Chain A
Amino acid sequence: MNAIEIKGLTKRYKDTVAVDGVSLDIRENELFGLLGVNGAGKTTLIKMLACLLAPDGGEGTVMGLSIAKDAPRIKALIGYSTQETAVAKNLSVRENLAFYGSLYGLGREEVAKRTEALIARFSLEKVADKRVGKLSGGYQRKVSIALAIISEPKILFLDEPTLGLDVLARRELWRIIRDIQKNTTVILTTHYLEEAEALSDRVAIMVEGRLLDVDTPRGLIAKTGADSFEDAFIKTVGGGKDA
């Protein structure tokens, strides 16, 4: 079964077409990378799938539910980690997790159980009672992703999850993302091509709101005749020409 099905999805802002008739299927438990340069429409696309933005055209389903008609039911099935860490900075890690859990209507005992499990899974024991605003960027990102999965979502949207992190923090998050993907569909937007190549089962490349190609990283390399995934990306974005 497909976790997400999109047909001709479009979003316009005045004179700009942010997402231009994108059609795409994403399978269950797939880790799907959305790639593109700045302004490609990646974030707009996942905001429509997360029911944060209403599309201007086309249609999309998330776990068989329409993004136009079933927003409340979809929101109960998804997790979303924004580009910004977007956490309650004056609350501790534990309080943040409990707060988010309560927003999904989970009982107090269930929230406590999941909170402790996530603290252990994300190795947050040392900072569990510290205010999130006082933590390093790497820890804040970990908390942000932990918050997104406290509801045990079927689909997780990760918008630039490793932006601005050092290499060690990034690798730590890669481990966590791979672990999450074992039983969750993950849609990941990133600017880091090595990240997309290392993590994604398939990737989609977007330019100016349009979907140029969807394939596995290896498939894209083979298709373009490039030596590396980065070259394959550049050739795809540049219409077959090297930069």
Chain B
Amino acid sequence: MHRIWSLAKRNGKEILREPVSLAFLIGLPVVMEILFYYMFHTLTPQFEMRYLAPGLIGFANAFLALFLAILISMDRESAFITRIYTTPVRAYEFILGYFLVAIPLGLCQSAVILLVGGLLESSFFSWSLLLVLPGSLLSIWMFSAVGILFGSVFNAKAVGGISSILITGQSVLSGMWFPLEGLPEGFLTVMGILPFKNISLLLQSIATPASSFEDLWRPFLIVAAYTVACAALSCVLFIRNSKAK
């Protein structure tokens, strides 16, 4: 556990000391939250805080994948990982070090977005928001797993572009920015199968006190399934691609 903690601390410093990381991890989602709320919340319920803030948490968490992927691809290319493998560190400790650092970062994102949401729309505050923090762990872990997967497979030049596709996917396919009514059936089916909309639905359901178990279980199972699958795949690919050749 001591080594995992050391690795996580190092990973956190590497990410947070890049000047752009805080701007993208927290600054951009908060700016979007303020702008979109003020511009649109009186025009359409889509941008009321109970929908906007949970959607933005998923969007913000997607940046975790980008920064983890960049860190891991650079660690691979700079032989940092090879070098650490000459110490008593085991592969599973390495992977947990990357997963672990994403938890405080992701929870900070969730807390700041919820807090700003409550300040903008005081009726948004409720006890159920406290459940959004643990609820967002699933989204944090899923995007961390995808980040580890991307970082294990792609080089540092490619990883930014690939992660951008993921972030765009979370933004567009989450149903956060436009009403879903009237969209073609096939498109809605694809959105229902992919994790993006389900992350938003899950967090929206947790944040809404009137939600029922029925609202929760389906998105929860879908996001959980993606999380488990991505985590398993990322572990296999990380171990395969990070060993010396």
Contacts and interface: CB of A to CB of B under 8 A. Distances in A.
A104 interface: yes
Given A75-B88, A80-B83, A81-B83, 19 more contacts: A47-B244, A53-B244, A72-B88, A75-B86, A75-B87, A76-B88, A82-B82, A89-B14, A89-B78, A90-B17, A90-B18, A99-B6, A99-B10, A102-B6, A103-B6, A103-B89, A104-B88, A105-B2, A151-B87
B84 interface: yes
A105 B88 CA distance: 9
Interface residues of B, number: 24
Nearest to A103: B87
A13 B88 CA distance: 26
A86 B10 contact: no
Contacts of B41: none
A125 interface: no
Contacts of B78: 84-86, 89
B88 A103 contact: yes
Interface string B14-44: 1001100000000000000000000000000
A95 B2 CA distance: 16
Given A82-B82, A86-B79, A100 B244 contact: no
Interface of B: 2-3, 6-7, 9-10, 13-14, 17-18, 78-80, 82-89, 243-245
Contacts of A89: 14, 78
Nearest to A90: B17
Given A47-B244, A82-B79, A84-B78, A103 B17 contact: no
19 contacts: A75-B88, A76-B88, A79-B86, A80-B83, A85-B78, A86-B78, A86-B80, A88-B10, A88-B13, A88-B14, A89-B14, A91-B13, A95-B10, A100-B87, A102-B2, A103-B6, A103-B7, A131-B17, A151-B87
Contact of A52 (B14, B80, B85): B85
A87 interface: yes
B95 to A, nearest CB: 15
A53 B86 CA distance: 10
A90 B88 contact: no
What are the nearest 7 A-B pairs in CB distance?
A80-B86, A52-B244, A102-B6, A90-B17, A86-B83, A84-B79, A86-B79
Contacts of B80: 86-88
B2 A90 contact: no
Nearest to B74: A89
A102 to B, nearest CB: 4
A181 interface: no
Contacts of B84: 103
Interface in A151-202: 151, 157
Contacts of A84: 78-79
Nearest to B93: A103
B87 A52 contact: no
Contacts of A52: 82, 85-86, 243-244
A83 B157 CA distance: 22
Contacts of B244: 47, 52-53
A78 interface: yes
Contacts of A206: none
A50 interface: yes
Contacts of A100: 87
Nearest to B11: A88
Contacts of A88: 10, 13-14, 80
A76 B18 CA distance: 32
A80 B83 CA distance: 7
- Which of A84, A85, A86 is the most central at the interface, judged by chain B CB atoms within 10 Å of its CB? A86
Contacts of B243: 52
B86 A102 contact: no
Interface in A80-126: 80-91, 95, 99-100, 102-105
